[in-house]
Structure 1
Amino acid sequence: MCSTQSNAELQPTASDPALILELKTRRPPSLEGRPGCETWSVDFSPDGAWFAWSMGHGIVWVVAWPLDSEECQDGGVDRGDKSFSCGHPVWGLAFGPRPPKASAAWTGCAKPAPKGNNSLLLATGLENGVIKIWNVLTGVAVFDLHGHEGVVRHLAFPRNGTLTLVSSSRDKTLRIWDLAHKGKKVHVLLGHKDWISCCSVSPDCSMIATVGRFDRMVCLWSLRSYTFIRNLTGGDHKTLYLLSSCDFSPDGALLATAAFSGASWWIDLWDPYTAEKLATLVDYFEGYGQNQLSSIQFSPNGLHLSIVTEKRPLCIWEPGKPGMVMQTRADRDSNGLCCNYHPQGGVVATGTRDGHVRFWKAPQTVPNLRHLCRSILRDSVSTHQMEPLPLPKRILEYLTYRDIPDCFTGRRAASDTTWRQT
C-alpha cells in the first residue's frame, strides 16, 4: 500500500529545509487524481512511536516510527504497520491516550488482554459524520460514535490522558465524547453559524478553540463546564476571508488562528484569557493567484509555528522575528493540506491533496533560559493572574507575549535579507 522515496534531488540550502522522506500511495490507475484521494489529516502518537495518515479513499495507514526507507521500499520487513479501511473518506484523525488497564472492550478481543498489555487508540472522523475508534495494536475497530450530521473535519484529545474526544464538524457543532462510556455520554456545543474548520484543546485542558470557515468566528469554549466563553473579534481585514486552522501554544498563553483571502494569508496571535489580539503575520504571494493557508501548528517547545499553504509545502515562523526562519521552495503542485510535529520536535509531517506525506527536518533551536522560565510560568499562571504582579513593564510584556511585533512579509519585506523567496 505504501512506498517511500528518499530525497536525492533536493539538497538542504539556506532557505530550504531538508526533505527527509516522502510516502506515496500505490493505488489503481483508475483512482489516480479522482476526488477522495486527499490526505486531510496526519498525526504522531503521543510517545512518537507511531505515525498515521489518511491516504485517501477511506484508507488510514499507520506505520511504526522512525521510518526505515530501505526496508519499506523492499517491503520484506514486517514492522507492525497497519492499514484501516473506514469505508468513507477520512477527514480527521487523532491518536488517543493509552487506557490505564486494557480490557476486552478496548482490545477488541473476546477475552481480557494479558496483564500490562495496553491498547493505543486512534479516532478517525469520516465524511458521513461517523467517528470510528480503532485499537492500533490489534487493528480492530472498537466502536463507532454517531451524532454528527456532516463531515467530521477535526478531532483532538486533551493532553491530560483522559478518554475524552473533541470533534468538530461541518454540521456546525462541536461534540465532546466520553470514550470511557463508549461515547454514550456526549456534550453538544452550538454557536457557529457555518462549518467548523478546526478545533484545538488548550494544554491545561480548560478551553477549546474553534474556527468557522465561512462564518469567520473564533470561539472559545470551557472544557470544564461545556459552555461558550467568548468570540474573539477585532480583526482589521476588510475583505472577505476564510478561517482554516487554529492551535494553542504549548504553554497555553497564545492562540494562533489562520485565515486566507485571494492571494494573501495571515495569522493572528491572541491571548485566550483576555481576548486581546497580540500580533499578526501577513504574507503575500501575488504571483501565484489564490494562496490558501491550510494548516498551522506550534512546535513542541513553542518557539516556532509551522505553516502549510497550497503553493508552498512548508513555512516555519518564529513569532517576533521578520520573515521565516525556514521555508520550502515555492511549488505550484504542492497542494498542502495539513501538518503535524513529532512530539520530540525536529520533524514536521505534511499531507498533500494527492494522498502523499512528506517529512521535513525542522529547526531544533535550543530554548534560552528566558523562554523556558516564561513557558514554565505561563503553563500554570493565566494573564489575569500575571497582570497584578509587581513586575517591571518590559518583563510583564514579555511574560504576556505583548512584545511580539506585527510582521509583514512577501513583497513588503523583499529587501529583508532574512526573507528569501526561491
Structure 2
Amino acid sequence: MCSTGNSSELQPTSSDPALILELKTRRPPSLEGRAGCETWSVDFSPDGAWFAWSMGHGMVWVVAWPLDSEDTQNGDTDRADKSFSCGHPVWGLAFGPKPPKSAATTCRDKKPPKGHKNNSLLLATGLENGVIKIWNVLTGDAVFDLHGHEGVVRHLVFPQNGTLTLISSSRDKTLRIWDLAHKGKKVQVLSGHKDWVSCCCVSSDCSMIASVGRFDRMVSLWSLRSYTFIRNLTGGAHKTLYLLSSCDFSPDGALLATAAFSGSSWWIDLWDPYTAQKLATLVFIHSDYFEDYGQNQISAIQFSPNGLHLAIVTDDRALRIWEPGKRGMVMQTKPDRDSNGLCCNYHPEGGVVATGTRDGHVRFWRAPRTVPSLSHLCRSILRHSVSTHQMEPLPLPKRILEYLTYRNIPDRLRTGCSSDEDDWET
C-alpha cells in the first residue's frame, strides 16, 4: 500500500484480474455510507498527466498520473496531490483544454522548460447548488465562479478545439455554454428539455452538442456554432416507461451512443447524428431484476480514444466494454453488489478506465488495447471532417459507403445469449 495523501489511499487487489488499483477515501467513520459521499464524476486531464474525482462531501481530489510517478515519490510540489473544498456536493467535473505545448507538463516530459512554469490547467466543478467553480489545478486556487443554473449541475464538458468554452447541463432543464475567456460573462442558454438534463457531450469537430433528458426521454442535438436547436432523435427505445442516463460521441463524431434503462432491461442505441437514423441497438435483460431492483441501471457510457470500444458502467458496479458490431462484451468485470457504479472515464491514451462508485471510491481497470485496422483508421480520419450528407453522394461502391457511414453495424449483430442467460438483440 502506498499513501497518496491524508484523505485517500491506494490499494492493489487481486479480486479481479482486470482491476489495477482502487483509490479509497479516508473519511471519518461517522461519514461512511451517508448521503453525499458518492463519486459522481471522474476525469483525466487532456494530456493524461492528472486525474480528478469528486470524493464526496464537497471534496475533489486531484492526483498526478500515473499514481506511482517518480515526481510524486520525489516530492515534486508541482506534481503533488491537491484537494479542493467546494462547499457543496460535486456532481460534475471536467479538466480544461490542454495548455500550449511549450507550457504543458506531460507524462513523458513532466518538467516544464527552464524559466517557465505551467499554471494554466483548469478544473471545472459543478455543484449541487447550481454554481460552477473554476480552479487552477497547479496553484490550487479558486479562479472564479459561474452563476446562472438553478439546479444541480450534473455534467460538464470542454470541446476538443482548445478554446476556453465550457458546456454544462443541469437539473434546471437547460444547458449553458460559457466563455471562460470572459470569466463566464458571455453565456448562451439552450432550452427545450422538459425535465432534468442528465448528460451532454460534444462532437469531435465541435459542431454539435448532444444532450439526454433523464425523465423527458429526449435525445436532443444542438449547434455549437449558432447555439440553436437542430433536432430530437426519436425511435430509440420502444418501451413506454424508460429513463435516459448517458450519451457520448465517437472520436470521429460519426456515431452517437445513448443509454437508457427500464424495468428489467437496459439498452444502448447507436445513432447517425447527421441523419438521425438509428443504426443499431444493444439490449441487455436482467433475469434477477425483481430480486435486485435498482441494480441494473446504466450510469455512464464512453467511447475509447480509438473509437473501437464503448465502456459501460451499471449499478452493479461492474464495468462492461462492448465493441460495436459484435455480439456480447469483449470485457466484463465481476459484479459487486455492495456498491453502485456511477461514472467512468478513459485515459486519453487508452488502456485504462477509471470508474467511480457510490461509496466515494475509484477503481482503475485494465481495458483492452486493440490495434486499430488500417481501414478503421482511414474511416476515423475521413469522418472527422466529412459528414454523412457529404459522404452519400460520393461515387463509392455500396460496401465501402456502408462501412464509412457505419451502416454495416446491424448486419454484424445477431440475437444471442451469454453464459449468464443475458439476451442480446438488435
TM-score by length of 1: 0.90
Counterpart CA distance in 2 for 1:9 and 1:224 is 47
Report if aligned partners of 2:285, 2:422 keep a CA contact under 8 Å in 1: no
The DSSP-based 3-state class of the residue aligned with 2:381 is helix
CA displacement 1:52-73 (0-9 Å, x = unmatched): 000000000000000129999x
Counterpart CA distance in 1 for 2:219 and 2:249 is 13
Report if aligned partners of 2:284, 2:423 keep a CA contact under 8 Å in 1: no
Gaps of 5+ in 2: 1-6, 103-114
CA displacement 1:1-22 (0-9 Å, x = unmatched): 0001101343x2xxxxx10000
Once the two structures are TM-superposed, the CA of residue 100 in structure 1 deviates from its matched residue by: 5.3
When structure 1 is superposed on structure 2, of 284-293 and 215-224 the one drifting more is 284-293
Once the two structures are TM-superposed, the CA of residue 236 in structure 1 deviates from its matched residue by: 4.5
Report if aligned partners of 2:298, 2:313 keep a CA contact under 8 Å in 1: yes
Partner residue in 1 for 2:8: 2
CA displacement 1:322-353 (0-9 Å, x = unmatched): 00000001222240000000000000000000
Partner residue in 1 for 2:399: 394
Structure 1 residues 47 and 188, CA, compared in 2 at 3 Å: closer, same or farther?
A: same
Partner residue in 1 for 2:111: none
The DSSP-based 3-state class of the residue aligned with 2:409 is coil
Partner residue in 2 for 1:319: 324
Report if aligned partners of 1:293, 1:308 keep a CA contact under 8 Å in 2: yes
Q: How does 1:205-354 map to 2 (within 5 A)?
A: 205-287=206-288, 288-290=292-294, 291-354=296-359
When structure 1 is superposed on structure 2, of 74-83 and 92-101 the one drifting more is 74-83
Partner residue in 2 for 1:135: 136
Report if aligned partners of 1:219, 1:230 keep a CA contact under 8 Å in 2: yes
Report if aligned partners of 1:264, 1:282 keep a CA contact under 8 Å in 2: yes
CA displacement 1:249-299 (0-9 Å, x = unmatched): 000000000000122100000000000000001001221443110000000
Counterpart CA distance in 2 for 1:341 and 1:259 is 21
Partner residue in 1 for 2:176: 175
Structure 1 residues 244 and 408, CA, compared in 2 at 3 Å: closer, same or farther?
A: farther
Counterpart CA distance in 2 for 1:272 and 1:366 is 26
Report if aligned partners of 1:39, 1:354 keep a CA contact under 8 Å in 2: yes
Between the two proteins, the alignment pairs up a number of residues equal to: 401
1:371 aligns with 2:376: yes
Once the two structures are TM-superposed, the CA of residue 99 in structure 1 deviates from its matched residue by: 5.4
CA displacement 1:102-149 (0-9 Å, x = unmatched): 9xxxxxxxxxxx755341000000000000000001000000000000
Once the two structures are TM-superposed, the CA of residue 313 in structure 1 deviates from its matched residue by: 1.8
When structure 1 is superposed on structure 2, of 383-392 and 92-101 the one drifting more is 92-101
How large is the Cα RMSD of the aligned pairs? Answer: 2.5
Task: Tell me which amino acid in the other structure corresponds to 2:282.
Answer: L
Q: How does 1:142-181 map to 2 (within 5 A)?
A: 142-181=143-182
Counterpart CA distance in 1 for 2:80 and 2:237 is 50
The DSSP-based 3-state class of the residue aligned with 2:308 is coil
Gaps of 5+ in 1: 13-17, 103-113
Report if aligned partners of 1:283, 1:408 keep a CA contact under 8 Å in 2: no
Partner residue in 2 for 1:110: none
Once the two structures are TM-superposed, the CA of residue 380 in structure 1 deviates from its matched residue by: 0.8
Task: Tell me which amino acid in the other structure corresponds to 1:218.
Answer: V
TM-score by length of 2: 0.89
Report if aligned partners of 2:339, 2:359 keep a CA contact under 8 Å in 1: no
Counterpart CA distance in 2 for 1:248 and 1:236 is 18
Counterpart CA distance in 2 for 1:3 and 1:399 is 46
The DSSP-based 3-state class of the residue aligned with 1:204 is coil
Partner residue in 1 for 2:67: 67
CA displacement 1:326-383 (0-9 Å, x = unmatched): 0001222240000000000000000000000000000000001111111111011100
Partner residue in 1 for 2:417: 413
Structure 1 residues 77 and 164, CA, compared in 2 at 3 Å: closer, same or farther?
A: closer
The structure 2 residue matched to 1:361, chosen from 332, 341, 366, is 366
What is the percentage of aligned positions where both structures have the same residue? 82
Structure 1 residues 20 and 69, CA, compared in 2 at 3 Å: closer, same or farther?
A: farther
Counterpart CA distance in 2 for 1:141 and 1:174 is 23
Counterpart CA distance in 2 for 1:163 and 1:5 is 36
Once the two structures are TM-superposed, the CA of residue 320 in structure 1 deviates from its matched residue by: 0.3
Once the two structures are TM-superposed, the CA of residue 234 in structure 1 deviates from its matched residue by: 1.1
Report if aligned partners of 1:313, 1:350 keep a CA contact under 8 Å in 2: no
Q: How does 1:90-105 map to 2 (within 5 A)?
A: 90-98=90-98
Report if aligned partners of 1:281, 1:408 keep a CA contact under 8 Å in 2: no
The DSSP-based 3-state class of the residue aligned with 1:405 is helix
Once the two structures are TM-superposed, the CA of residue 415 in structure 1 deviates from its matched residue by: 6.0
